[in-house]
Amino acid sequence: MMTEYQTATDKIIADAMANPSPAKSMGDPGITPLSPSHTQQNDTDQVQSEPSFVVVVAIDFGTTSSGYAYAFTKEPECIHTMRRWEGGDPGVSNQKTPTTILLTPDRKFHSFGYAARDFYHDLDPSESKHWLYLEKFKMKLHTTANLSIDTDLHAANGKRVKALDIFAYALAFFKEQALKELSDQTGGEFDNNDVRWVITVPAIWKMPAKQFMREASYKSGLVSRENPEQLIIALEPEAASIYCRKLRLHQMVDLGTQTTQNGFSPTDNVGSGMTQVSPGHAKEHVRRNRQSRTFLVENVVGELWSELEEGDRYVVVDCGGGTVDLTVHQIRLPEGHLKELYKASGGPYGSIGIDYEFEKLLCKIFGQDFIDQFKIKRPAAWVDLMIAFESRKRAAAPDRTNPLNINLPFSFIDYYKKFRGHSVEHALRKSNVDFVKWSSQGMLRMSPDAMNSLFKPTIDHIIQHLTELFEKPEVSDIKFLFLVGGFAESPLLQQAVQNMLQGRSRIIIPHDVGLTILKGAVLFGLDPSVIKVRRSPLTYGVGVLNRFVEGKHPAEKLLVKDGTRWCTDVFDTFIAADQSVALGEMVKRSYTPAKPSQQVIVIHVYCSEKESVGFISEPGVRKCGTLRLDVSGTESTAPRREIQTLMQFGDTEIRAMAVDVSTGRTVKASIDFLSQ
């Protein structure tokens, strides 16, 4: 890999030597900005490496539902979304499958998605308690503060499993499904080496979570550690942004011009108007793709996009099951490249927040102790209850007047009577929850206000985030707000966003809003260089020694070594929070092994949410990663070995490369954010 950078590296080293820093003898010659030609060179590298893949397959691994889509590199305008899944739910379009996984009692993979849910559901309760059933587990990667390879998840029966195993099983399932479909389409065994894989993650995810997804991909056999380039981690709102550039007017709803009475009905948003092609061509497509579902992404800029001018800004609000991600992009013409204007923000405010509110309501009526027991003792009935709630949740709308009925499973009513000694009806009468009634047909009747109140905390969080975002100077004058992700279908959320914006920006919702990210991720895999500038979410750096300066450095940081006065714990910034970083831009440093015989240099990487950091000991600065340089086999007779390290921050992941300056040989470099 290093050879491509060799000439640029030579120039950088010359620059570095010309700018010695006070910490020179400690092996840190300070930072020099990179020449633009270097960034350009990196672009062309990427272009040359593209054609080796025959197909790009994107996996949208969601909190509540998942799916995949693909496009052949020879036909980039045809995006195929996977076959319809068996066993879809009433009232919910089944273009994706639920993110649920089932393991046998001896912890072997059994099934994923609807198949996992249905099989688990049909097990006898005495058997089902031995099986391991997991759902909504993706959120663990966002909420775990010290995520590691050993992080655990809890199955429905309370048993613990390794998160890495579960994610690897899920990715292996998608690999098998996609390769099988590709083999069927091409009429021969499809080789995994011909696939470029793309996995989508929320933009607000921290580095450990992204690295965790990569580790799970290696474990699942999706890609090998020797060929990391075969997998790209895509950021969900970026993928949505890339897809939205292609939208034609008939492929979206402009909330400014339309009422949001019912949002979308699940039937009318299935690719409506997506495939307007000449009749002969269309027949050919339909014949070839009877199994899969094809969207034609025209190789032109959509009408909406043609209204945008150089420098115009827009916001993508990605509302998924687990998280809400806000990204601000600016258009750069003539190629229409995108530039991120403000670091991604958001939080764990996806639609599963409404499920938690419903659960809290049930606890209030029937008691937390009962609900906890019921989930463990009758797990399949609990799944049923949540499925029933899901379809009613989708019927919630601002102007709804008639109540929403939720079927209570018979075993809920039965178990409650055994547990408490009185009926569900009695519990409802006794509780102070007056907007939930019992109907004689065995249903919970919720008034529309009751249902809307379950949405309120989650929607309030989203609106608060949007309000804060729109107060930022970078976010003035926003032309469009794209509302994407499965939760964007909610008329309650649409109305809340409309009320907050009050016409300051047009709100655009693509048809098939739940597949927007998936399709955009395929386009990103076909051309990863479309996003030219990103913002760093955090400040990254390392601790170094600098020459002690009286009056500038605190006395307690003074270290005297061989008669020289040094200041310890100085935070040497690689990149600052919210700093723009161009694609392929490098930050470089040089390090010297402390002893000539040293085989490995380990450098601790620190990060902070603050933009300017003076010392690694400041509050809010934490150790977040390790930069590891394997210098074995590069020994030389030079009196001082200098290892030149290049770190790339402009991509969706942070990468490191290194070279031994005296020999010009590549040094194995890696950044690890997981084993802190």
CA dist., res. 483 & res. 509, Å (int): 5
Encode 391-413: b = buried (16+ Cβ within 10 Å), e = exposed. Answer: bbbbbbbeebeebbbbbbbebbe
* pLDDT value of residue 274: 30
**298 alpha-carbon distance from chain centroid:** 26
pLDDT digits (tens, 9 = 90+) for 317-342: 999 999 999 999 988 876 778 899 88
Residues 426 and 563 in one domain: no
User: Of the residues 237, 271, 295, which one is the last residue of a structural domain?
Assistant: 237
Residues 433 and 568 in one domain: no
Only one residue has tokens 């895999």, namely: 525
* pLDDT value of residue 2: 36
Residues 231 and 360 in one domain: no
* pLDDT value of residue 299: 59
Only one residue has tokens 């921050």, namely: 649
User: Of the residues 453, 469, 504, which one is the last residue of a structural domain?
Assistant: 453
Average pLDDT of 254-259?
Answer: 64
Phi-psi sector, 192: left (phi>0), alpha (psi -120 to 50), beta: alpha
* pLDDT value of residue 373: 92
* pLDDT value of residue 499: 94
- CB atoms under 10 Å from CB of 277, counted, come to 16
- pLDDT-derived band of residue 491, with 50, 70 and 90 as boundaries? very high
pLDDT over 70 (residue 87): no
Residues 542 and 440 in one domain: no
User: Of the residues 453, 487, 506, which one is the last residue of a structural domain?
Assistant: 453
Of 236, 245, 139, 264, nearest to 521 by C-alpha is 236
* pLDDT value of residue 301: 58
Average pLDDT of 244-249?
Answer: 78
pLDDT over 80 (residue 594): no
Residues 446 and 545 in one domain: no
- pLDDT-derived band of residue 89, with 50, 70 and 90 as boundaries? low
* pLDDT value of residue 378: 86
Task: Name the residue with higher pLDDT: 38 or 198.
Answer: 198
Instruction: Provide the strand spans (E) within 51-131.
Output: 55-61, 65-72, 78-81, 97-98, 100-103, 109-112
Q: How many CA atoms lie within 13 A of 615 on its CB side?
A: 14
Please name the residues in contact with 403: beta carbons below 8 A apart, sequence gap of 6 or more: 437, 445, 446, 447, 448
pLDDT over 60 (residue 92): no
Task: Please provide the average confidence, as pLDDT, over all residues in the chain.
Answer: 82
- pLDDT-derived band of residue 663, with 50, 70 and 90 as boundaries? confident
Residues 542 and 449 in one domain: no
Lowest mean pLDDT among 176-180, 192-196, 241-245: 241-245
CATH of the domain at 575: 2.60.34
Only one residue has tokens 């195993």, namely: 165
Residues 441 and 543 in one domain: no
Only one residue has tokens 């010659």, namely: 29
- pLDDT-derived band of residue 257, with 50, 70 and 90 as boundaries? low
- 381 belongs to a structural domain: yes
Query: DSSP character for 82?
Result: P
Residues 449 and 544 in one domain: no
Tokens of 415: 């178990």
CA dist., res. 100 & res. 113, Å (int): 5
- pLDDT-derived band of residue 601, with 50, 70 and 90 as boundaries? confident
**Cα dihedral 607, 342, 350, 528 in deg (nearest 10):** -90
Task: Name the residue with higher pLDDT: 555 or 279.
Answer: 555
Residues 183 and 71 in one domain: yes
Residues 437 and 578 in one domain: no
* pLDDT value of residue 637: 66
CA dist., res. 610 & res. 246, Å (int): 36
pLDDT digits (tens, 9 = 90+) for 261-284: 334 433 333 333 333 333 334 333
* pLDDT value of residue 638: 67
* pLDDT value of residue 96: 86
pLDDT digits (tens, 9 = 90+) for 518-551: 999 999 999 998 899 999 999 999 988 888 888 8
Tokens of 380: 């399949």
> Cα dist. 337→43, 309, 378 in Å?
13, 12, 52
CA dist., res. 141 & res. 349, Å (int): 14
Only one residue has tokens 């300066």, namely: 549
CA dist., res. 133 & res. 499, Å (int): 40
Lowest mean pLDDT among 274-283, 304-313, 486-495: 274-283
Q: Domain tally for the chain?
A: 3
Q: Give pTM, 2 decimals.
A: 0.83
Residues 436 and 548 in one domain: no
- 36 belongs to a structural domain: no
N-terminal to C-terminal alpha carbon distance within the chain: 27
Task: Name the residue with higher pLDDT: 447 or 376.
Answer: 447
Tokens of 587: 């930050």
Tokens of 503: 């016409």
* pLDDT value of residue 291: 41
- 75 belongs to a structural domain: yes
- CB atoms under 10 Å from CB of 463, counted, come to 17
Instruction: Provide the strand spans (E) within 322-414.
Output: 324-332, 337-347, 404-407
- 542 belongs to a structural domain: yes
- What is the domain extent for residue 146? 55-237
Q: Give me the percent of the chain exceeding a pLDDT of 70.
A: 82
CATH of the domain at 229: 3.30.420.40
- 274 belongs to a structural domain: no
Sign of CA dihedral 357, 359, 364, 368: negative
- 518 belongs to a structural domain: no
- 139 belongs to a structural domain: yes
- 31 belongs to a structural domain: no
Beta-bridged to residue 535, according to DSSP, are: 580
Beta-bridged to residue 199, according to DSSP, are: 59, 233
pLDDT digits (tens, 9 = 90+) for 354-397: 999 999 999 999 999 999 999 888 888 898 899 899 889 988 99
Please name the residues in contact with 407: beta carbons below 8 A apart, sequence gap of 6 or more: 384, 385, 388, 442, 443
Residues 219 and 79 in one domain: yes
Task: Name the residue with higher pLDDT: 253 or 539.
Answer: 539
pLDDT over 70 (residue 634): no
pLDDT digits (tens, 9 = 90+) for 212-245: 999 999 999 999 999 999 999 999 999 999 988 8
- pLDDT-derived band of residue 6, with 50, 70 and 90 as boundaries? very low
Q: Give me the percent of the chain exceeding a pLDDT of 90.
A: 50
pLDDT over 50 (residue 26): no
